[in-house]
Amino acid sequence: MARNREGLVLLLDVGPSMHHILPDVEKLCSMLVQKKLIYSKSDEVGVILFGTEETENELTKEVGGYEHVVVIQNIKVVDRDAVQTVKKLARGTVSGDFLDAIVVGMDMLIKKYGATNKGKKRMCLITDGLSPIKDPYEGSKEDQVHTIAGQFTKHGLKLECIVFRGNLPPDADEKIMAENDRILNLFPRETRAKIIHVESPTSLLGAIRTRNITPVTIFRGDLEITSELKIKVWVYKKTSEEKFPTLKKYSDKAPQFDKFAKHEVKVDYEYKSYDGSSKVVPPDQRIKGYQYGPHVVPISSDEWDAVKFKPEKGVKLLGFTDASNIMRYHYMKDVNIFIAEPGNMGATVAISALARAMKEMDKVAILRCAWRQGQRNVVIGVLTPNVSDSDIIVSSYFNDIREFQFPSFGNLPTSLQPNEDQQKAADNFVMMLDLGPSDDHQEILSPDFTPNPVLEEPKQFNDFMRLLCGFCQKNDLQSFCDMLASEGLTLISKTEAADSDVSDEEARCFLVKKEPKTE
């Protein structure tokens, strides 16, 4: 397995206490595999169920034990069969032991990739933690966790545990819950593991990340305060916009059921002389020409390189300003984080002093950043202080700022002013839109656990549109469908996205506005 690929094993609790949430688990896992088909087609996925009446795994055959654990898919490259596998999970009839499932999954990963493989290896456990775990044959449960964690560290494995604690059944045993939570919380202390508790299906859908992105530095060098004062810093990308996968040309010439077909389209360009001859002009005899009035001016790549602006690599301080002078709409693009060079105590003290002074005086720094030698565009950024590190937010240029000013409602005539009840209703509506935490509830739609609907694949959009259309037809809401049709809203076809199962004809005919009948 290559370094940038991932081997993932899903450990799914299908015991009786999980039956009510399994439909959401099926959606979550199918979305995860479908995203991998789009973003990471070379990743490999395996699926293990525990809490089943049956037992089917290699460890049971080799050493015995590990009952009620079934491997329904061995680790293999993601495909559409994997999507169908996780869409229809069996409903178990017995309590499942998540420690047994973890050991079986660990055994699968070690046998598949070995100890020398440098790719990413991850296990994801989804359970409610309501079923008791068995006592080991030797030692204690803590000793068992310590042994498992040692193997995780040795082979470079990572564990993610998602514990669902929504509407608990009346017969839930709090002692078992507390014991299971205690055992699970031992893993982050011993090895690379993360425990996430969720309480709603929405949070569950956002709990698993399709890709784990390792942070890398975009700049290592001097933060130049003056020509004589420079601080060694490393700059990491903290947040960035998620991009859609690049759409490629798709060929349907291969047989429909050929699983090995790549459906690639290869394009070759040939340049021929303008005089009409069929002789192909080789690359070393071609040069770009630019229209200037009636003439075409040839400019070679060497001439372009000679006049290009090539800034030197470096980060320079332009000055300080009050934090109040930087408006929120000045922020754009990505956020980077500045830290002192690791191991450099002088740089650490200098960065700490700079951040604390800026924080105390409520100042921000304006920086000129060229991350690479010869970078095409110089970045102007705002460095904001933090007690432990510093963040830089890329600022906009003047031409990028778009101000939207609206007149006050207070200038309207009295007859158009809202009365007390209307004003109260409007205030309540605004308060309903507040998703932040308060004394009454926790934060709603937390970014850490809420999937971005814009980045979901076309299938979810098409399924929603079909469901919406069926609902409107069932409830005689044709006017709503006509309104959608008039806006040109339709299904995403295979031409727009290769992973779509909708033909161009079906997309054109969907939600077609009906013509009125003539009497």
CATH code where residue 82 lies: 3.40.50.410
Asked if 495 and 359 sit in the same domain, the reply is: no
Report strand pairing: 193-198 vs 157-164: parallel
Query: For residue 335, what is the domain's CATH number?
Result: 2.40.290.10
- Alpha-carbon torsion, ordered 142, 148, 151, 156, to 10 deg: -110
The DSSP element (H or E) to which 209 belongs, if any, is none
Q: E-assigned strands of 267-362?
A: 288-292, 295-299, 314-322, 331-340
Asked if 96 and 163 sit in the same domain, the reply is: yes
Residue of 94, 174, 179 lying closest to 141 (CA atoms): 179
Task: Please state whether the predicted TM-score (pTM) of the whole model is above 0.85.
Answer: no
| Residue 410: both structure tokens together | 């207070």
Taking the CA of residue 211 as centre, how many other CA atoms within 13 Å lie in the half-sphere pointing to its CB? 17
Asked if 377 and 500 sit in the same domain, the reply is: no
- Which residue is it, tokens 């998620």? 242
CA distance 507 to 346: 63
Q: Is 249 domain-assigned?
A: no
Range of the domain at 226: 217-241+309-400
pLDDT tens string, the chain, 519 residues long: the values are: 556 678 889 999 998 888 888 888 888 888 888 888 877 788 889 999 998 988 888 888 888 888 888 999 898 888 888 888 888 888 888 888 889 899 999 999 888 887 666 668 889 999 988 888 888 877 788 888 898 988 888 888 888 898 888 777 777 778 888 888 888 888 888 888 888 888 877 777 767 765 556 778 899 999 999 989 999 999 988 877 767 667 778 788 878 777 778 778 888 888 887 776 778 888 888 888 889 988 989 998 888 888 888 888 999 999 999 988 888 777 777 788 898 999 899 999 999 899 889 999 999 999 999 988 878 788 888 998 876 555 566 665 555 555 555 667 777 788 888 888 988 998 888 888 877 776 666 676 666 666 665 555 677 778 888 888 888 888 888 787 777 777 777 888 777 766 677 887 888 777 665 555 454
Q: Is 130 domain-assigned?
A: yes
| Residue 359: both structure tokens together | 């924080």
Q: What is the pLDDT of residue 447?
A: 64
Asked if 120 and 65 sit in the same domain, the reply is: yes
CA distance 376 to 379: 10
Q: Is 69 domain-assigned?
A: yes
Q: CA angle, 194 as apex, 193 and 195 as ends, to 5°? A: 130
Q: Is 288 domain-assigned?
A: no
H helices present in 362-457, as ranges = 420-432
How many structural domains is the chain composed of?
A: 3
Asked if 196 and 229 sit in the same domain, the reply is: no
Q: Is 221 domain-assigned?
A: yes
Q: Is 250 domain-assigned?
A: no
CA distance 453 to 432: 21
